[in-house]
Amino acid sequence: MDLSHLKVLVTGGAGIGVGGGVCQALDAGGATIVINDIDGEKAKQACGKYKRAIPIKGDVSKSEDIERMFDEIERQLGAINGLVNNAGIGLSKKSYLVNEAEFDRLYAVDMKGVWLVSKYFVNHLLQKEHTGSIVNISSVHAFATQPGYAIYASAKAAVEGFTRGLAYELGAHKIRCNAIAPGMVHAEQNYDLMRTWTDDPEQWEQDFVNDHQVLQHLIQPIDCGHTVAFLLSDLSRSITGQTIYVDAGTTVMIAERGFVENTAT
């Protein structure tokens, strides 16, 4: 895919999970990447991995940070034409035990952040009469979830609703907006969460793949990156308002594989 015409802001792009996979795929296609992260040092270090990348520190939940980010982008690159709303935080706690501060922070980053950065990006495009494309990072939890994830799941469902609404608003300006919804993406950082459930995260991960994925391989960050690259490219010019599930089939299963193998004839 030739992405050399793209200049893309990736929020939370310094991470090694989905954000890292997105930057890797965009870089491979020749795009210029603006790597945002709340952790400025991490953003600077991440830029070292790519050919054409600039770091930009900022918290996506704060409009003053985003305004400064777009001023900085204007100074360094003039204009950008792609946005990936990747920055996100998780919360693994039953909803009736979640406190107000936890709820507010999750929504501030995972939903308000997506709206705020999109708002500044869209105005950046409209002022220049440029076209462009947005990809939001949702999650399988927007479709089906598990205990402890109701708040996260609701924010991601909101992201998908926002994706459809924004796509409708922007169609007349030839600006597209889509989302991807990853399943369980293999990244070292997920082991920290898994360790709160099990002593053997690698086995837990393998059991998940065996039982809860149609395709029996670990989903890698680059798998998400390739789908995002496609959605930012002109190859997807007739797709807008959609969410593509990059989940190795997790959400098409009504029963786990072990159960089906024992019952199907």
Ligand X SMILES: NC(=O)c1ccc[n+]([C@@H]2O[C@H](COP(=O)([O-])OP(=O)(O)OC[C@H]3O[C@@H](n4cnc5c(N)ncnc54)[C@H](O)[C@@H]3O)[C@@H](O)[C@H]2O)c1
Residue ranges binding ligand X (CB under 6 A): 11-12, 14-20, 36-39, 42, 59-61, 86-89, 109, 113, 137, 139, 182, 184-185, 187, 190
Could you say which DSSP state residue 77 is in?
H
As measured in angstroms, the least distance from the Cβ of 57 to ligand X is 8
As measured in angstroms, the least distance from the Cβ of 14 to ligand X is 4
Q: Which residues are catalytic?
A: 152
Residue nearest to ligand X (CB): 15
**Beta carbon nearer to ligand X, 17 or 132:** 17
**Beta carbon nearer to ligand X, 126 or 252:** 252
As measured in angstroms, the least distance from the Cβ of 117 to ligand X is 9
Which H or E element spans position 66? helix 63-77
Torsion from C-alpha of 67, 80, 57, 48, nearest 10 degrees: -170
Residues 6+ apart with CB under 8 A from 71: none
**Beta carbon nearer to ligand X, 62 or 164:** 62
**Beta carbon nearer to ligand X, 34 or 262:** 34
Q: Does residue 261 sit in helix, strand or coil?
A: helix
**Beta carbon nearer to ligand X, 38 or 209:** 38
As measured in angstroms, the least distance from the Cβ of 98 to ligand X is 16
Could you say which DSSP state residue 197 is in?
T
66, 83 contact by CB (below 8 A): no
Could you say which DSSP state residue 173 is in?
G
User: How many C-beta neighbours within 10 Å does residue 68 have?
Assistant: 14
Spatial distance between the Cα atoms of 215 and 204, rounded to a whole number of angstroms:
16
HSE value, Cβ hemisphere, 13 Å, CA-based, for 239: 17
User: How many C-beta neighbours within 10 Å does residue 150 have?
Assistant: 17
Spatial distance between the Cα atoms of 160 and 225, rounded to a whole number of angstroms:
18
**Distance from the Cα of residue 119 to its chain's centroid:** 17
As measured in angstroms, the least distance from the Cβ of 182 to ligand X is 4
